[in-house]
Structure 1
Amino acid sequence: MRDRMSIRPARPDEAARVAAIVEAAYTPWVSQIGQRPGPLDDDYAARVAAGQTFVLEAADGAISGILVLEDQPDHLLLDNIAVDPARKGMGDGSRLLDFAEEEARRRGFAEIRLYTHQKMAANIAIYLKRGYVETGRRVEKGLPRVFMAKQV
């Protein structure tokens, strides 16, 4: 099914679906980390309007994943990546990460950066396996975060 998926910019009328995917993907983490992950409180209508949000769409139009990318002066920031839990293990997250890295190169960046909660060990392991390196740990917006980067 992976080959029947495409990634494109989110449309304004899809902001609620984007928020629903983020809610479904991140809510299970609340009990594990003891607080709401930052993406749960983001303004996805504003993110979509700013052109920062992309969706993973099946041939039938169903959206199963999202990512939020921000241009920074010297890198592309992967601010958020989320996949509908019903599609977990189907390669959607990898496809979105591939796209983010390709998009960094397309935009002329040599580096992509991201961050995740320090207690999200499974996510940290995924990023390490994909070649990201830890660049620091600090509390930001009340959340203990692990910062990571990858040369693209």
Structure 2
Amino acid sequence: MLEKQATGPGYSIRDVAHRLQATAHGQGDHEATTERLINRRSAMPSEPTMRLRPATREDAAAIKDVVRMAYTKWIPLIGREPRPMVVDYEKAVQENDFDVAHSGSRLVGLIETILHDDHLWIENVAVRPEDQGRGIGQELLRHAENRALSAGRQEIRMLTNAAFDTNLRLYEKVGYVTDRREPSMGGITVYMSKQIG
């Protein structure tokens, strides 16, 4: 967030520090400069708060769009559409649990889960490309943990393609470990899990 503000119309914290340092050396009016910088930053529009809610059947088309946008970048790498891109989401929304993330009025991400007897399975997590890097994926994964714990499950499992390096790094960052790797459809499928209780 700070980097965006530093390159946009406002000032970053570093800008404020440099200006204050300059005024401390007699290069300006300290109080006036501070007030101008604070007022300019407080006048900047803030990013909409992300909110999560259960998906409905009416969300199926938007879910499909987000999934296709999120996975398109992997097509040249693996030579085909990843499996989530060919799912019938009209049907999936009725069979599995989906939670969708909104930023303002925009659907920016989703997580699809399936509750099993001894674990929660994450079938899919996807975030719009332009919204990646904002922590939405991590928030969706935390939401899945809360869902699992609420249902009395202490383990979460998932799989991903070994070629999806940014996904793997995210999952490892939030505590998932690789259980096994298996050849699949000309690539490698990575099975991962996380103990949460």
TM-score by shorter chain over 0.5: yes
Match among 3, 11, 22 for residue 56 of structure 2? 11
| Aligned 1:67-78 pairs, distance under 5 A | 67-78=111-122
Q: Which has the higher contact order (CA 8 A, sep 6+)?
A: 1
Task: Give the Å deviation of 1:61.
Answer: 2.7
- Alignment correspondent of 2:42: none
| Aligned 1:59-98 pairs, distance under 5 A | 60-98=104-142
Q: 2: CA distance between counterparts of 1:105 and 1:2? A: 30
Describe the superposition over 1:116-136 as per-residue Cα deviations: whole angstroms up to 9, x where unpaired. Answer: 001112211211111111001
- Alignment correspondent of 2:188: 144
| Aligned 1:106-121 pairs, distance under 5 A | 106-121=150-165
Counterpart residue identity of residue 54, structure 1: D
Task: Give the Å deviation of 1:144.
Answer: 2.8
Moved over 3 A (4+): 139-143
Q: 2: CA distance between counterparts of 1:115 and 1:26? A: 15
Is the Cα–Cα contact under 8 Å of residues 96 and 114 in structure 2 kept in the other structure?
no
Report sequence identity in percent: 34
Describe the superposition over 1:72-126 as per-residue Cα deviations: whole angstroms up to 9, x where unpaired. Answer: 2211001100001111111111111111111111111010011100111221121
- Change beyond 3 A, Cα 1:3–1:102: farther
Q: 2: CA distance between counterparts of 1:74 and 1:141? A: 28
- Change beyond 3 A, Cα 1:136–1:18: same
Counterpart residue identity of residue 60, structure 2: A
Structure 2, gaps ≥5 residues long: 1-45
With structure 1 as the length reference, what TM-score do the two structures score? 0.91
Task: Give the Å deviation of 1:50.
Answer: 2.2
Aligned residues: 151
- Alignment correspondent of 2:83: 38
Counterpart residue identity of residue 89, structure 2: Y
Matched, 1:49 2:94: yes
Counterpart residue identity of residue 105, structure 1: L
Is the Cα–Cα contact under 8 Å of residues 52 and 100 in structure 2 kept in the other structure?
yes
- Alignment correspondent of 2:23: none
DSSP 3-state at the match of 1:82: strand
For the aligned residues, what is the CA RMSD?
1.8
- Alignment correspondent of 2:172: 128
Task: Give the Å deviation of 1:2.
Answer: 7.5
Q: 2: CA distance between counterparts of 1:32 and 1:90? A: 24
Task: Give the Å deviation of 1:3.
Answer: 7.5
With structure 2 as the length reference, what TM-score do the two structures score? 0.71
